[in-house]
A = this chain, B = another copy of it.
Amino acid sequence: MKMSQLFTKTKKSAPADAETANAKFLQQAGFVYQEMAGVYSWLPLGLRVLRKVETIIRQEMNAIGGQELFLTALQSKENWLTTQRWDDVDVLFKLQSQTGKEYALGPTAEEVITPLVQSFTHSYKDLPLAVYQIQTKFRDELRAKSGVLRGREFLMKDMYSFHTDRQNFLEFYEKAKEAYLRIYERCGVSAKVTESSGGSFSKNPSHEFQIETAAGEDDLILCRNCTFAQNTEIATKQSGEPCPDCGKELAASKGIEVGNIFDLSSRFTDAFGFTVTGEEGEKKTIYMGCYGIGVSRLVGSIVEASHDERGMIWPKSIAPAHVHITTLNAKDKESQDRIMQASEEVQEKLISNGIEVLWDERSNSIGEKLADADLIGIPLRIIVSEKTLKEGSVEWKARTETESHLVKFEDVLEQVQSFVAE
C-alpha cells in the first residue's frame, strides 16, 4: 500500500472537540471520519484494524461452537412489545415506514434471535446451541462521547446461547469467558473479568471485561495480584481492604468495558413461549445467555491503552500493516532514484512473503513523514535514506522503542519475519 495512493491524509491536528486519545488520533490519522456526534465512518486504515479484530473474534466464537449468521437491523415492534421492552429501553431508536408500520432499529438482538431459533428448535435434542453475528448496532445515547467508545452507531459481535439445562448453560458461560479473554490477549490488550450488574438486560449478575485505563468510564475495585475485580456499582469490597481471593490490598481504578456476558435465564424464551419437548414429552424451559463485544469500541479502547503523545501504538496482531517503510528525500535525482528503487525492492520482498507494508514514498518533508509514521503507529518503521543506503543498511525502529539501529539490507526480510512472529 503506497501512502500517496491512500485517499485519506493525516491532519496537522486533531479536531478541537476530540477529548480522548482515540477520538484524537483515529481522526487525525485518517482512520475514522466523524459523520455526526457518536457516528463514525471507518476509512481504509481504520477498516483494516477493525477487520483484523473481527477475524480474531470470529475464530474464537467458531472455536466454542458458535454458528455465524447475520440478523436484521430493522426489528419488529410486536416482538419488542412481547418482551415489554418497546417503552422501557431508552436508547431504542424507533422509526416508521410510509405505510405507518413501526420498527425498532436494533441496539441488541434478543427480540430477533429468540423467535428465529424458536422456529427451528422443537426438541431437547436440538439444544444446546450458540449463534452469533458481527453487525452494526444503533443506540440513541443521550450523550455520545469519547470518540468511538460510546457511539450511536457501532459494530458489535453479539452471541446468544440456548440450553435446556442450567448446568450446561453455566459451563458454556465459562467457555465464553475464556474465549473472551483469549480474544483480548490476541488483540494485544489485557482485560479483567469484572463482576457487574446485569443492567437493563438481566436481573442476574453478569460479567464485564474491563481494560484498565485513565479514560475509562467505569470505576473498579480490583486486585493487581490476582484476577479479582468488581464494578463499584455492585462492589462488596473497598479500596484498601484485603482481596477476598489472595489477601493482597485492593485498589481503586478506572476501566473501559470492552465486553459483557449475561445470564438471561428464561427472561426472553418465556416471553416468546419458547420451550422444547423433553425426553418424556414434557415441556422444558430454555435458558439463554447473551455475549457481547463492541468491536469498534474495542479498537478505540486499544488506542486508549496503547498510545503516547505522538500517536497510536498498534499491537502487531491488529495493526493496519506490519511495517511502515519511510523513504527519505535525497539531494539529487540520481540518488533519489536509487533509494526509491531500494525501497521498492524491500517492499516487494516483504509483500511477497506475506508481510503487510505501508510505504511512504511521498515527497513530503522528513519531519512530516516521521510524525505521520508515529501517529499511524505501525509496529515497525524502516527508513530508507541516501546515508544508510551507502552502507548497505536501512534504519530500523520499533514503534515501542526510542532508539533506532541499522539493519543490513540482506537481513531485513528475516528480521522482519522474526519481529512479526514474536
The reply to whether B68 and A7 form a contact with Cβ atoms under 8 Å apart is no
Which residues 98-145 of A sit at the B interface, judged by CB distance below 8 A?
98-99, 101, 103, 105, 112, 116-117, 119-121, 126, 129, 131, 136, 138, 140, 142
Is A17's beta carbon under 8 Å from chain B?
Answer: no
The reply to whether B41 and A116 form a contact with Cβ atoms under 8 Å apart is yes
The reply to whether B42 and A120 form a contact with Cβ atoms under 8 Å apart is no
**Nearest CB to that of A111 among chain B residues?**
B35
Give Cα distance in the complex from A98 to B90, angstroms. 8
- Main secondary structure, interface of A, reads mixed
The reply to whether A152 and B74 form a contact with Cβ atoms under 8 Å apart is yes
Give Cα distance in the complex from A39 to B71, angstroms. 9
Chain B residue numbers with a CB within 8 Å of A105 are 95, 105
The reply to whether A76 and B7 form a contact with Cβ atoms under 8 Å apart is no
Chain B residue numbers with a CB within 8 Å of A140 are 97-98
Is A188's beta carbon under 8 Å from chain B?
Answer: no
Cβ of A53 to closest chain B Cβ, rounded Å? 13
Cβ of A387 to closest chain B Cβ, rounded Å? 29
Chain B residue numbers with a CB within 8 Å of A41 are 69-72, 112, 116
Copies per assembly: 2
Comparing A43-51, A266-274, A366-374, A410-418, the segment that makes contact with chain B is A43-51
The reply to whether B39 and A74 form a contact with Cβ atoms under 8 Å apart is yes
**Nearest CB to that of A1 among chain B residues?**
B67
Is A360's beta carbon under 8 Å from chain B?
Answer: no
Chain B residue numbers with a CB within 8 Å of A7 are 67, 117, 120-121, 126, 129, 131
Give Cα distance in the complex from A8 to B116, angstroms. 10
Give Cα distance in the complex from A9 to B140, angstroms. 36
The reply to whether B99 and A36 form a contact with Cβ atoms under 8 Å apart is no
Is A409's beta carbon under 8 Å from chain B?
Answer: no
Chain B residue numbers with a CB within 8 Å of A35 are 71-72, 74-76, 112, 116
**Nearest CB to that of A121 among chain B residues?**
B7
Is A386's beta carbon under 8 Å from chain B?
Answer: no
Chain B residue numbers with a CB within 8 Å of A72 are 35-36, 39-41, 153
Cβ of A356 to closest chain B Cβ, rounded Å? 14
Chain B residue numbers with a CB within 8 Å of A36 are 72, 74, 76, 101, 103
Give Cα distance in the complex from A356 to B294, angstroms. 31
Chain B residue numbers with a CB within 8 Å of A40 are 72
Given the contacts A140-B98, A142-B99, A74 and B153 also touching, CB distance less than 8 Å: yes
Give Cα distance in the complex from A75 to B35, angstroms. 7
Chain B residue numbers with a CB within 8 Å of A121 are 7
Give Cα distance in the complex from A119 to B11, angstroms. 10
Give Cα distance in the complex from A44 to B68, angstroms. 6
**Nearest CB to that of A143 among chain B residues?**
B99
Chain B residue numbers with a CB within 8 Å of A201 are none
Is A80's beta carbon under 8 Å from chain B?
Answer: no
Q: Residue among A7, A98, A153 with the most chain B CB within 10 A? A: A7
Is A351's beta carbon under 8 Å from chain B?
Answer: no
Give Cα distance in the complex from A8 to B67, angstroms. 10
Give Cα distance in the complex from A44 to B116, angstroms. 13
Cβ of A29 to closest chain B Cβ, rounded Å? 12
- Known contacts A7-B129, A35-B74, A74-B138; 15 additional CB pairs below 8 A are A7-B117, A7-B126, A7-B131, A33-B119, A35-B71, A35-B72, A35-B75, A36-B76, A44-B67, A47-B68, A72-B153, A73-B136, A73-B138, A93-B95, A98-B142
Chain A residues close to B by CB (< 8 Å):
6-9, 30, 33, 35-36, 39-44, 47, 50, 67-76, 90, 93-95, 97-99, 101, 103, 105, 112, 116-117, 119-121, 126, 129, 131, 136, 138, 140, 142, 152-153
Listed from nearest, the 3 A-B pairs whose CB atoms lie closest are A95-B95, A42-B70, A35-B72
Question: Would you list 18 pairs from A and B whose C-beta atoms are within 8 A, ordered by A residue?
Answer: A7-B67, A7-B126, A8-B120, A9-B120, A30-B120, A33-B116, A35-B75, A35-B76, A36-B76, A41-B112, A42-B70, A44-B67, A47-B68, A47-B69, A47-B70, A73-B136, A94-B95, A95-B95
